[in-house]
Structure 1
Amino acid sequence: MGIKMENFILGDQNTLTFSTESIDNKEKFDYWIETVCKQLIFVDCKRHDNEPFEGTLRTNNLSNITFSEMYTVPQTFFRSKQQLAQLEEDFLIASIPLTFSVEKSINRRPIPSARGDISIFDGSREQFLFVKDSINALIIIIPKASIKHYLPCPEDFAGRVISKNTPTGFLASNYVRTIASQIGRLDPGLESPLGDNLLQLFALALANTKENANQFAPAVKYSLCLQIKRYIEANLHDPDLSPKSIADAHKVSLRYLYNVFEQEKFTVSRFIMMRRLQRSRDALANPENTHLSITAIALDHGFKDTSHFSRTFKKEFGFTAKDLREITFPKQPAHPPLRNRL
């Protein structure tokens, strides 16, 4: 199986390549089993025939998410308790055929996927994966601990296929391939947020598959709620921040915004007020802000009316902003004139 460089998605920078190309023909498959399968992806494998074997695996990381592209002949992969014992953490696997449709099954259950579809597997289970066709795929390995922020029970979604023909599936498939092409050239500070965006997009795409619509609704709401909270935190200084402006910024209706916050112990408006008061309290107790007046700090945190700030502050904490300042930074008593101490 000849593999040309122009077929690769991952760039060369920081990408590790493991290939049978320079290995003696009699040793190619043994090299593939021992180096690639057992050491890198923690599986065993079995070839389907005695035809000449070729295989290449290229791998790179985006934050704690591993991107690999595999080019090889049809084969069956096994993961046993022995391989599972080598894993340092549980993970989910997403696989995308890059050039053609693939006929495969996991534990004898057919999972057909077309080019660009995203198949989801649980990497922490004993299983075998039979792949009937040549493998030309992009594989994403995601720690379950990371994706649980958006999919509370990720293992329940193994065996699902995100079709590229759905709007969110199309976006997710193209986003994954775009990110893969840029790994190694990205600013390190962008890796974590881009990884989070990828996980959120996977959650949304799974939520929009017909079979998962009801099952994934809580996960999608949770993901959107986290996103909205981050937006609120970043915009507390804006006195015009409101449920309406938040809904507009996220292109959802007010009704849906309120629905998202039903799982919380507070409303959107209450969350805004609570965080403004907490941030104001922290600022008042910060010695670096002693030069700022209480009014200035209130205005900096989005309050339009200082009297309203004073009332809500006391109601929230049981003491006034002035009390907090005096307790935190007590005034030093003035020293009597020197002649009175002689």
Structure 2
Amino acid sequence: MTPGAPARAEAGPARGLLTTARVPGHRRRAYWRDALSRTFGAVDMTVPEEVGSGTIRTAPLGRFQVVTVDGEPLRTRRTRRLVARGEDRRVVVKLLVRGAARLAQDGRDAAVRPGEVFVYDTARPVRLLLPQPFRTTSLVLPRHALALGEPDLRRITATPLRPDTALGALLATFLSRLADTADTLRPSSGELLARRAADLLTAVADERLGRLPADTPSGDAALLLRIRAYIVRHLADPGLTPAAVAAAHHISVRRLHTLFEAEGTTVGRWLLGRRLEASLRDLAHRRTTGLTIAAVAHRWGFTSAAHYSRVFRAAHGTSPSEWP
């Protein structure tokens, strides 16, 4: 949104409905540009001189957001200047439900058709053209929640994930269902499902990058999804070791380590990351809930407050008690 715009969206992207239906005609263009920029990050945007209608429905899922947009033709561009502002880095996973799209990032320029999923990273310049009235469903997630190495992420941006494989179709269906049910989910359930969508994207990326056989959701990708879901459900268990995870899935510990090594991480590192992420939510509300650092540590499976403080400082450069 350009500085000094005469209209501002009345609600932030965290929750609810933004619609031009409540805005006088002469203010709709500024309102719509502002609403989209606040939802997806600062962009240079071109919209029609007269905006007839536009709706953004946003539901928070923990640290994720699911967003459905119905709108008229527009063009958006995130420039190097806007990237340099240093906003939180986010990855947007978007399903084109209706209309057409063209996306450019990381040296690729791709046409997108309805039913296809595409990905872009707000940490680098990106251009998105929607030349027709459209509907999109998006999952907006922090970059660190996506279990993909940096080179792998760069290789799937601006590359439509078509629903002509089992995993690709599953991701599109999952995003659609997540948007339909997000308002009815409890916060913990919603975030867990959002994580599963992120895991599906990782599996689809692995398939596209040649690390998985195509059309085999019952193979390594599906097994890894089940293992990750199991780990997230049992984060509070301090006895959740690689041996326990392997036994629960009737595989060897070596096989378990191999699955995670193919992702560029380890079982222990992935588990620790999820525990730290979960603990951040409790720290953010510690003043209102009265939870102690020891209680937060115990709640998420850390063996002691001292152990929790050590790994937290290593990850975030500060102690849990000093966390904003």
- State yes or no: 1:213 paired with 2:214: no
Equivalence for 2:17:
17
Please give the secondary structure, in 2, of the residue aligned with 1:111: strand
Equivalence for 2:114:
115
Letter in 1 for 2:210: A
Letter in 2 for 1:246: H
Deviation at 1:224, TM superposition (A): 6.0
- State yes or no: 1:127 paired with 2:126: yes
Equivalence for 1:105:
103
Equivalence for 1:151:
148
Deviation at 1:187, TM superposition (A): 2.4
Equivalence for 2:249:
246
Equivalence for 1:186:
185
Deviation at 1:65, TM superposition (A): 0.9
- Cα root mean square deviation, aligned: 4.2
CA distance in 2, matches of 1:168, 1:16: 30
Residue pair 2:20, 2:31 contacting (<8 A) in 1 also: yes
Residue pair 2:32, 2:54 contacting (<8 A) in 1 also: yes
Deviation at 1:143, TM superposition (A): 0.6
Paired residues in the alignment total 240
Please give the secondary structure, in 1, of the residue aligned with 2:38: coil
Residue pair 2:29, 2:50 contacting (<8 A) in 1 also: no
- Structure 2 CA distance for partners of 1:78 and 1:23, relative to 1, 3 Å: same
- Structure 2 CA distance for partners of 1:247 and 1:117, relative to 1, 3 Å: farther
Instruction: Give a deviation string over 1:205-235, Cα, whole Å, max 9, x none.
Output: 22223xx224999x96995696399499979
CA distance in 2, matches of 1:244, 1:145: 28
CA distance in 1, matches of 2:213, 2:141: 18
CA distance in 1, matches of 2:51, 2:172: 32
Equivalence for 2:228:
227
Instruction: Give a deviation string over 1:47-95, Cα, whole Å, max 9, x none.
Output: 3x54554322221111111111111111110213453355541111111
Equivalence for 2:201:
202
Deviation at 1:139, TM superposition (A): 1.7
After TM superposition, list the pairs within 5 Å mapping 1:263-274 onto structure 2.
Answer: none
CA distance in 2, matches of 1:71, 1:111: 21
After TM superposition, list the pairs within 5 Å mapping 1:36-115 onto structure 2.
Answer: 36-41=35-40, 42-47=42-47, 50=49, 52-86=51-85, 88-100=87-99, 102-106=100-104, 109-115=108-114
Deviation at 1:198, TM superposition (A): 1.6
Residue pair 2:167, 2:203 contacting (<8 A) in 1 also: yes
Equivalence for 2:286:
none
CA distance in 2, matches of 1:245, 1:124: 38
Letter in 2 for 1:94: V
Could you tell me the TM-score, scaled by structure 2's length?
A: 0.60
Residue pair 2:103, 2:110 contacting (<8 A) in 1 also: yes
Deviation at 1:260, TM superposition (A): 3.1
Letter in 2 for 1:144: R
Which structure has the larger Rg? 1
Please give the secondary structure, in 2, of the residue aligned with 1:54: coil
CA distance in 1, matches of 2:234, 2:50: 60
Residue pair 1:207, 1:216 contacting (<8 A) in 2 also: no
Letter in 2 for 1:151: L
Please give the secondary structure, in 2, of the residue aligned with 1:115: coil
Please give the secondary structure, in 2, of the residue aligned with 1:98: strand
- Structure 2 CA distance for partners of 1:247 and 1:21, relative to 1, 3 Å: same
Residue pair 2:61, 2:191 contacting (<8 A) in 1 also: yes
Using the aligned pairs only, state the percent identity.
Answer: 16
Letter in 1 for 2:186: D
| Structure 1 stretches lacking a partner, 5+ long | 1-13, 272-342
Instruction: Give a deviation string over 1:284-321, Cα, whole Å, max 9, x none.
Output: xxxxxxxxxxxxxxxxxxxxxxxxxxxxxxxxxxxxxx
Please give the secondary structure, in 2, of the residue aligned with 1:213: coil
Deviation at 1:27, TM superposition (A): 2.2
CA distance in 2, matches of 1:51, 1:232: 52
Residue pair 2:19, 2:56 contacting (<8 A) in 1 also: yes
CA distance in 2, matches of 1:156, 1:216: 18
Letter in 1 for 2:178: I
- State yes or no: 1:139 paired with 2:138: yes
Residue pair 1:97, 1:138 contacting (<8 A) in 2 also: yes
| Structure 2 stretches lacking a partner, 5+ long | 1-13, 215-219, 269-324
CA distance in 2, matches of 1:84, 1:247: 46
Instruction: Give a deviation string over 1:224-251, Cα, whole Å, max 9, x none.
Output: 69639949997979xx989787347xxx
Could you tell me the TM-score, scaled by structure 1's length?
A: 0.57
CA distance in 1, matches of 2:245, 2:141: 36
CA distance in 1, matches of 2:238, 2:163: 35
Residue pair 2:89, 2:143 contacting (<8 A) in 1 also: yes
